[in-house]
Structure 1
Amino acid sequence: MSFRTALVLLTLLCALIWWQATRPVGAPATPSRSGITTSAASSRCPMPPRTERGAMPLQTDVPAGMSLQAIGETNLRPLAGFSIEARVLGREDYRIGHEADISPIDLALGWGRMTEDAVISQLDIRQSSRWYRYSWKDTPPIPVEEIVRSSANMHMIPADDAVAAALRRIERGQRVRVDGWLVEANTNNGWRWRSSLTREDSGGGACELVYVCSITRE
């Protein structure tokens, strides 16, 4: 083997070693069946059982011994597995406060008849101060109890940078799949933020706090 050939092979070997050491660890973006870029599952976040396509939100038990990685000084305790296919009724970004440090985005999500244009077009939907509000003229397009059961404001905690980037691309009106865990967040100084564990509630404490393993635009 000539000296020049050996030098070329050594250069290639060094380049391969450098690539292995510096390639991204997070989940890569992958194309969906519709051709829209989606986020793959985070390697840091075990996936819960997934809801069937077109089905209602699925909440499942937490496996024995399961834990989630803390975010800085904030501990995360899984309360239930969570998988949902829904339409984005609204999106609000937050930058101030400890809540925003771990959950910078709220998504108001609707499922069932709350995905239909004929229903949504008759509602005035707004978000602020970590709340989701809706109103209508004259009469609601569907019973108020159904609106409560078929929509919710959800605080999104991205599991890693890839999921965070995918969340930032989500827009109102899109259909999404979210898979992750409903959690309680707390710190050693007594701060606590806990997810709702039912889709039947409304008002204070009714929002879901979701540790997002994967979010996909359908």
Structure 2
Amino acid sequence: MSAARTLLLLGAAALALGFAFDARLPARPLLLPATHADPVQTAAAQPAFATHVGGVDYRIAPAADYDIAGLVVSRHDAEAWWDWIHAASNDHLNVVDLCLIWGANAADGAYEKMSFSSGQFVCYVSSKDASVWRPEYLRSLSNNHLLTDSAAVARRLRGLRVGDQVRLRGQLASYSHDAGFAFTRGTSLTREDTGNGACETLFVRDLEVLRKAPAWPRWLQWLGALLILGGLWRWYAAPHRPR
């Protein structure tokens, strides 16, 4: 087998393994005790305020102070190429959505029997196991619209990955602007709701990564890509051999 073919096969195998294990959720025993707690919500101490991001003036109206620790099970970046709603809404504050599980869902490992994915403003959950649809597990799961006017915080939020265990502090808030049209998005203030309007909209004041997801699947992806590039280079650089 030629060196080029060997590199291409090794690269394809590394790339496939990297993607297969990337975004795999940690098993229940690997979750930190902090993720077993419910979010803490108290009366808002911050009054309404204004901020300016992306050429748009926003008004933020805090409704409650909020402190949540959980496991990232799905995520959506507002800068994804297929996300058109944020651009159409002049929404530069909501940089990332994180779907989190915590509390009973984390402590009992119900999430291990669930599958998660994210759309532009929603977290989708599916499972063939009827036991995971108990109320205590559903209330321990939420999609969180994360707001920030800080470029540094935005970079950190965009750096979070599925499998990370995180703690977020800030204010549940509604926000609005009048940049060409009247835009308003609110927030849920209870963990008991579901469906449209059940997402928490959190203006992030503090972000702590309690435990990062393993990095080796992404390293394997990079290794696979480099091996494939090396194999292609060897293939085209090899002397032409007429048949």
TM-score by length of 2: 0.62
What residue ranges of structure 1 are gaps of 5+ in the alignment? Answer: 1-51
Unaligned runs of 5+ in 2: 1-32, 211-243
Question: CA 1:119/1:102 → structure 2, altered by over 3 Å: closer, same or farther?
Answer: same
Change (3 A) 1:141 1:111: same
Kept after mapping to 2: 8 A contact 1:196/1:205: yes
After the TM superposition, which residues 115-134 of structure 1 pair with which residues of structure 2 at under 5 Å, given as runs?
A: 115=106, 118-134=109-125
Whether the aligned pair in 2 keeps the contact of 1:195 and 1:209 (CA below 8 Å) is: yes
| CA-to-aligned-CA distance 1:45-72 (integer Å, 9 cap, x gap) | xxxxxxx945310111122x72333233
Query: Which secondary structure state, in structure 1, belongs to the residue aligned with residue 130 of structure 2?
Result: coil
AA of the residue aligned to 1:69: A
Q: In the TM superposition, what is the alpha-carbon distance from 1:112 to its structure 2 partner?
A: 1.1
Q: How does 1:1-218 map to 2 (within 5 A)?
A: 53=34, 55-63=37-45, 66-71=47-52, 72-95=56-79, 96=84, 97=86, 98=89, 100-115=91-106, 118-141=109-132, 143=134, 145-188=135-178, 189-218=181-210
- Bigger relative CO (Cα 8 Å, ≥ 6 apart): 2
RMSD between superposed Cα atoms in Å: 2.1
Q: 1:115 to 1:55 in 2, by over 3 A?
A: closer
Work out whether residues 57 and 83 of structure 1, in 8 Å CA contact, stay in contact via their aligned partners in 2: yes
- Counterpart-to-counterpart distance in 1, 2:126 and 2:163: 18
Deviation of 1:147 (Å):
2.6
Deviation of 1:191 (Å):
1.3
In 2, Cα distance between equivalents of 1:117 and 1:125: 17
**Structure 1 Cα separation of the partners of residues 208 and 184 of structure 2:** 29
Deviation of 1:165 after TM superposition, in Å, equals 1.4
- Total equivalences in the alignment: 165
Aligned equivalents of 2:188 and 2:197: distance in 1? 6
Share of identical aligned residues, percent? 28
Question: What is the rounded CA distance, in whole Å, between the counterparts of 1:75 and 1:67 in structure 2?
Answer: 7
TM-score after normalising by structure 1 = 0.69
CA distance in 2, matches of 1:107, 1:114: 16
SS across alignment from 1:213: strand
